[in-house]
Amino acid sequence: MPESSHGAQVTGRKKMYELVNVALGETEADLAIVNGSIVNVYTGEVLTGDTVLIKGDKIAYVGKDTGKAIGSSTKVIDATGKYLIPGLIDGHTHADIVYSISELLRYAMKGGTTTIITEVYDLTFSLGYQGIIEFLRSAKNQPIKIFITAPSMVTISPVAKEHALTVNEVSKLIRRKEVLGLGESYWAPVIAGDQRMFDLITETIKARKKLEGHTSGAKGNKLQAYIALGISSCHEPITVEEVIERLRLGICVLIREGEVRRELEVISKIKDENIDFTRLAISTDGVAPQQLTTDGYMEFVVQKAVDLGFNPILAIQMATINVARHFAIDDFIGGIAPGKYADIIIIPDLRTIQAEYVISNGQVIAENGQLVIQPRKHTYPKSIQNTIRLPRNFDANDFAIRVASDRSQAKVRVIDQVTELVTREAIIDIPVSNGQLQPDASKDILKVAAIERNHLPGKTFVGFIRGIGLKQGAIASSAIWDSCDIMVVGANETDMAQAVNRIRQLGGGIVICADNKILAEISLPVGGTISTEPMETIAQKLHAIQQAATDLGCTLPDIRTTLAVLPTPAIAHLRICEHGLVNLRQNRFVELIVE
């Protein structure tokens, strides 16, 4: 036994003795919760009259024979008439978007979420391996547990692909205890035979970790081809039929109720099926600042499941033990039983998911919606701030699309925004003036550009988009999915340049401007994607940006997200990155000008 680990070993043994002795009723617990009704997520029962004894960060005992365990050094919480449920777990989210981790934790903690399992795509695309390490640092020694999945980084951007984590880097990450699996990998490129993905999958299986899936739109043979590689979950189904198809394949299905999609209502009909629900879970898949400040976090999702008619015990299981089992961390979290971390929330009744007490790692962290202790604020190092490496300011010329000057128009492949997320291809005649293709806001034909901002900074592709609705001005964002691009959409090139230049000046952010005037903005200095301001300020600034967009004619409810997903291979079907347009059905770059 190396000298250096001896101290930890002794501490470990001491904690084990203490736990045993409290369980035996021989020494005093630190915390006792008495007289409550306890939801046993293992059997599905509610058991009344038991006391939960807690020593240090763990539950020592659940029962009636407390012996000498409740003494003068024991804090006692009387839960008469109340219900104890395990701390909530968000099994699939994106905690590296827009806000710093401590701001998310403020809302998680007060609402009763005690474990977050998150993707870290945004930080990884912008900062690479260092981004992940920094996220893990920010997540360390917090009052609640944070795990990540290692980003598989499927992307349409050749630059991002070139700078993606190597197989060795993922292999190293996947072996860390905070890393529970390989992050979501969009199915189509995987079954098309992406060798790097095959190698990442192999490394993950070797490390006995989970392969998080992303099967949106897949069914039948294609779905099964993807699952056959060892994929163990999916959070993408949008109908009861899709959920059942996946449950039959043995994977865990996490129903989404968050920023990008809200599926719980439609899928709630599944509650009447007579099948095993132990692989069914609920998660947010990322939650926007506005939602957090208005609705809350996982407690809102569980409440909604209850309100939609799920048996409250099942609703709780879907946000606790079912998630823990999926990630094979149920040996230490997910239920109220001896040996598990003391992550418990006390609610007034089974149908009201409002935490009167939130206990995490044995510590009361919130009471009646107010934090008792604060999450640790992480100081992000200078090296990951102000990472927008554009070498110079843009001007209108940078967004010009030149064609032969004798042409009066050209047939152009336009990104057609059919929902706020889904796009398709529209072939549209675009007028030429001064040898340039011209946007026409009156017909809702705007320009869109993707600008690489880190590895090949300034590399730009300009195209057209329909369905945004802006009548004037431009909006740009450096908080973009699955690439390291700035995305800008505008009615004219001058405003586009101003929006991008302002982001360059801010060191990352979202900016909306018109007529040479900044209308609203948020600064995202950390990796170009994260604000260091309080959640409420972020929510307010994002609201102001959306309001400004709406005032400029934007018809979409969440322009920030619409911009963000423009390069993602996750959503059908015409996408854009700094190298051009990609048709996801054909899995290849396509020309802007058709003829």
**Binding residue for a second copy (CB under 8 A) from 33, 52, 59, 549?**
59
Structure tokens at 434: 């001064």
Select 195 or 370, whichever has its Cβ closest to a second copy.
Answer: 195
CB of 68 to a second copy, least distance (A): 11
CB of 82 to a second copy, least distance (A): 20
**Binding residue for a second copy (CB under 8 A) from 34, 35, 46, 47?**
47
Strand partners, 411: 429
User: Which of the stretches 5-13, 99-107, 118-126, 459-467 binds a second copy when contact is defined by CB under 8 A?
Assistant: 5-13
The DSSP code for 572 is S
Integer Cα distance of 242 and 238 in angstroms = 7
Segment 134-153, which members bind a second copy (CB under 8 A)?
Answer: none
Select 221 or 368, whichever has its Cβ closest to a second copy.
Answer: 221
Select 69 or 410, whichever has its Cβ closest to a second copy.
Answer: 69
Select 27 or 492, whichever has its Cβ closest to a second copy.
Answer: 27
Structure tokens at 241: 């039929």
The DSSP code for 367 is E
**Binding residue for a second copy (CB under 8 A) from 6, 48, 49, 65?**
65
Structure tokens at 415: 């990104």
Determine if residue 112 is left, alpha or beta; phi over 0 gives left, psi from -120 to 50 gives alpha, anything else beta. left
Select 260 or 267, whichever has its Cβ closest to a second copy.
Answer: 267
Select 9 or 374, whichever has its Cβ closest to a second copy.
Answer: 9
CB of 304 to a second copy, least distance (A): 23
Does position 44 interact with a second copy (CB under 8 A)? The reply is yes
Sequence-ordered list of residues with C-beta below 8 angstroms from that of 317, at least 6 positions apart, any chain: 41, 44, 277, 278
Select 180 or 462, whichever has its Cβ closest to a second copy.
Answer: 180
CB of 368 to a second copy, least distance (A): 29
Q: Quick one: which of 299, 321, 326, 311 has its CA closest to 271?
A: 311
**Binding residue for a second copy (CB under 8 A) from 4, 72, 248, 382?**
248
Directed axis angle between helix 101-111 and helix 129-139, to 10°?
40
CB of 21 to a second copy, least distance (A): 8
**Binding residue for a second copy (CB under 8 A) from 70, 148, 159, 249?**
249
Are 88 and 110 in contact by the 8 Å Cβ rule? The answer is no
CB of 153 to a second copy, least distance (A): 18
CB of 46 to a second copy, least distance (A): 11
User: Which of the stretches 145-153, 329-337, 361-369, 415-423 binds a second copy when contact is defined by CB under 8 A?
Assistant: 329-337
User: Which of the stretches 304-312, 323-331, 458-466, 567-575 binds a second copy when contact is defined by CB under 8 A?
Assistant: 323-331
Integer Cα distance of 546 and 209 in angstroms = 40
Binding footprint of a second copy, residue count (CB under 8 A): 71
Does position 518 interact with a second copy (CB under 8 A)? The reply is no
Amino acid, single-letter form, for residue 495: D
User: Which of the stretches 18-26, 468-476, 486-494, 558-566 binds a second copy when contact is defined by CB under 8 A?
Assistant: 18-26
Beta strands 83-86 and 344-347, pairing class:
antiparallel
Sequence-ordered list of residues with C-beta below 8 angstroms from that of 12, at least 6 positions apart, any chain: none
Which element (helix H / strand E) includes 431?
A: strand 423-433
Per-residue x/- track, 177-206, a second copy (CB under 8 A): x-------------x-x-x--xx-xx--x-
Per-residue x/- track, 208-247, a second copy (CB under 8 A): x-x---------xxx-xxxxxxxxx-----------x--x
Amino acid, single-letter form, for residue 569: P
Beta strands 509-514 and 423-433, pairing class:
unpaired
Segment 330-389, which members bind a second copy (CB under 8 A)?
Answer: 330-332, 335, 337-340
Integer Cα distance of 385 and 407 in angstroms = 45
User: Which of the stretches 23-31, 76-84, 119-127, 473-481 binds a second copy when contact is defined by CB under 8 A?
Assistant: 23-31
Select 136 or 396, whichever has its Cβ closest to a second copy.
Answer: 136
Does position 58 interact with a second copy (CB under 8 A)? The reply is yes
Structure tokens at 578: 């700094």
**Alpha-carbon torsion angle 465, 468, 472, 478, nearest 10:** -80
φ, ψ of residue 343 in degrees (nearest 5): -110, 100
**Binding residue for a second copy (CB under 8 A) from 46, 67, 308, 544?**
67
CB of 589 to a second copy, least distance (A): 24
Instruction: Note every long-range contact of 195-200, with CB atoms under 8 Å and residues 24 or more positions apart, other chains counting.
Output: 196/164, 196/167, 197/152, 197/154, 198/229, 199/167, 200/152, 200/167, 200/170
Which element (helix H / strand E) includes 335?
A: none
Cα-based angle 171, 567, 116 (whole degrees, multiple of 5): 50
Segment 257-316, which members bind a second copy (CB under 8 A)?
Answer: 274-276, 278-279
